[in-house]
């Protein structure tokens, strides 16, 4: 998951040579979020939708991708579940006792596993990372947040092939004295 998310950040979020890449779309979506009928918002949203629908189709464990502006307001979400939160602070969506937005400003943030009944496994994890513009002295423009369904991890853990009749595994550690 982590490597896929890093790939998304590195590949999908590098600033386009044309100047009309993600930076423009994130800032445009933020600027026009109260005027969703404007052509500027519609174009920015469609650009983002095209990119992220392809990603979530290929990497199905990512149930939703959200983008925030530099103040933490959600400006885009790839899924329907969080559409109602566009314009709100991302920290209000998950209700952690700390700020996801603040933790991810400097580096990639991985949340603890949380119970979430809307996913098939009932468990999810949040991965969030900062977005910077290299052409503007690494100016912080927002964050990308992925919501991950952990059902595939549960299926790996519950697989017992090769574990014998009981399915039990005993872990041990040899000390320097050989015990």
If one counts every other C-beta atom within 10 angstroms of the C-beta of residue 1, the result is 16
Contact call for residues 129 and 5 (beta carbons, < 8 A): yes
Q: How large is the average pLDDT for residues 26-49?
A: 86
Q: What is the pLDDT of residue 117?
A: 61
In whole angstroms, give the CA distance from residue 85 to residue 115: 20
Q: What is the pLDDT of residue 156?
A: 61
Q: Which of 150, 155, 149 is nearest to 65 (CA)?
A: 149
**Helix/strand/coil percent split, the chain, to 5:** 35, 20, 40
pLDDT in tens, 7-30: 554 454 343 323 346 667 888 888
Q: What is the pLDDT of residue 169?
A: 59
pLDDT in tens, 153-168: 666 666 667 666 766 6
Q: What is the pLDDT of residue 155?
A: 67
């Amino acid at each position: 998951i982590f490597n896929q998310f890093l790939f998304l950040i590195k590949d999908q979020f590098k600033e386009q040579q044309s100047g009309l890449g993600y930076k423009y779309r994130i800032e445009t979506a933020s600027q026009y979020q109260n005027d969703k009928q404007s052509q500027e918002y519609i174009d920015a949203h469609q650009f983002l939708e095209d990119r992220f629908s392809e990603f979530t189709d290929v990497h199905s464990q990512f149930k939703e991708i959200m983008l925030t502006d530099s103040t933490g307001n959600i400006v885009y979400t790839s899924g329907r579940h969080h559409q109602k939160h566009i314009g709100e602070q991302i920290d209000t969506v998950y209700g952690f006792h700390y700020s996801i937005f603040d933790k991810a400003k400097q580096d990639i943030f991985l949340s603890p596993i949380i119970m979430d009944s809307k996913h098939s496994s009932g468990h999810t994890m949040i991965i969030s990372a900062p977005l910077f513009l290299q052409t503007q002295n690494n100016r912080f423009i927002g964050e990308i947040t992925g919501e991950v369904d952990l059902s595939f991890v549960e299926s790996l853990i519950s697989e017992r092939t090769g574990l014998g009749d009981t399915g039990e595994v005993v872990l041990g550690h040899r000390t320097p004295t050989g015990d």
